[in-house]
């Protein structure tokens, strides 16, 4: 993760109000859309919208993310 984030001077991720949580026993999944605003060290300002999805599993009384995915629309 440091390698990915090291290319930015600033990075701000703002979640939208559409968080959805679904649970089935010891497994849950969450989805939320967000807006990302960042200043890249080499290429200037970047703005994009995206979605985060996470799969959670309850282990030893704690909820842990066991899989997650970020996606953003293709730009042309």
The single-letter DSSP state of residue 25 is: T
pLDDT value at position 6? 67
**Residue ranges covered by each domain of the chain:** 2-71
Question: Considering Cα of 39, then 41, then 46, then 50, what sign does the dihedral take?
Answer: negative
Mean pLDDT of 36-65: 92
* End-to-end alpha carbon distance in the chain: 27
Three-class DSSP category at 60 = coil
pLDDT value at position 52? 95
Q: Tell me the pLDDT tens digit for each residue of 1-47.
A: 455 666 788 989 999 999 999 999 999 999 999 999 999 888 789 89
pLDDT value at position 1? 47
**Phi then psi dihedrals of residue 3, to 5 deg:** -60, -40
CATH 3.10.450.50 assigned to domain 2-71? The reply is: yes
pLDDT value at position 2? 53
pLDDT value at position 56? 98
Task: Identify whether the C-beta of residue 25 lies closer than 8 Å to the C-beta of residue 18.
Answer: no
């Amino acid at each position: 993760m440091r390698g990915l984030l090291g290319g930015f001077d600033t990075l701000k991720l703002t979640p939208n109000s559409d968080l959805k949580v679904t649970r089935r026993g010891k497994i849950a999944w969450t989805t939320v859309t967000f807006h990302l605003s960042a200043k890249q060290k080499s290429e200037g300002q970047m703005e994009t919208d995206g979605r985060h999805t996470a799969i959670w599993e309850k282990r030893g009384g704690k909820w842990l993310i066991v899989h997650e995915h970020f996606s953003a629309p293709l730009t042309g």
